[in-house]
Amino acid sequence: MLTGKTAVVTGSTSGIGLAIAEALAAQGANVAINSYTDNEDDHAIAARLAEQHGVEAAYFKADMSKGEAARGLIDDVIARFSSIDILVNNAGIQFVAPVDEFPPEKWDAVIAINLSSAFHTTAEAVPHMRQAGWGRIINVASAHGLRASPNKSAYVASKHGVLGLTKVVALEEAGKGITCNAICPGYVLTPLVEQQIEDRMRESGLDRRAAELKFFLDKHPSEQFVTLGEVAAAAVYLAGDMAAQVTGTTLSIDGGWTAR
């Protein structure tokens, strides 16, 4: 149980981030959720988490493409909750194009949100974790942090960078009660992927299962998607005391993709 702990999850009003926030709240953690939109739905999510799980929950707007905003998010969470015990760096974006056609501004945006934001939030949170003598940093990376695919230069580079950052922070904080690990999911069945499946079906004329196997699950020997619950369960494990000696490593949830 994580009762009394405070967790912040970046990029957490939908998909993987929201699933992790839900799972941590279910374990008793107070949760700070984040996006850049700041609308009624965002605040409603926080209110629902608080009511359903009997914890404190709040929404914080922060544009994770900007370092100052990423650091400010940590400061705002500490001001609200008086501590930060669990940091889940989940915010991320994707853009696909051959390297010679990749727009420089898209490269900069992907690196800023996927990689640099994790550096900024971690750098701001670590001193508070040291003072408390306990902390968990969980970076949501990707199977693409371990493998490459064509036309994804910025995404693959950013996720490889996240794994490097994870290892460095783990070494720097070893013996201080702070761990840092990365989760590397394969294709997760999120609302965004659901839409992509529909698009592929429409473009190709294939039925759903055929489209899944051709365009997504060709990399998964299991031929199954990763579920949101599976990723969230991994985060709960890494956040708990049973993972006290798990640090500087990656937890792959990819249906066998990286076993090849």
d(CA 240, CA 219): 31
- Give the C-alpha separation, 92 to 116, whole Å: 11
Closest to 27 in 3D by CA, of 232, 254, 175: 232
Residue in 92, 113, 115 with CA at minimum distance from that of residue 165? 115
SS3 letters for 61-97? ECCCCCHHHHHHHHHHHHHHHCCCCEEEECCCCCCCE
130, 89, 123, 114: which is closest to 7 by C-alpha?
89
Active site residues: 155
Amino acid at position 67, single letter: G
Tokens of 21: 């926030």
Tokens of 158: 């950013």
Rg of the chain taking only CA atoms, in angstroms? 18
Residues in the chain: 260
Nearest alpha carbon to residue 59 among 71, 45, 69, 78: 45
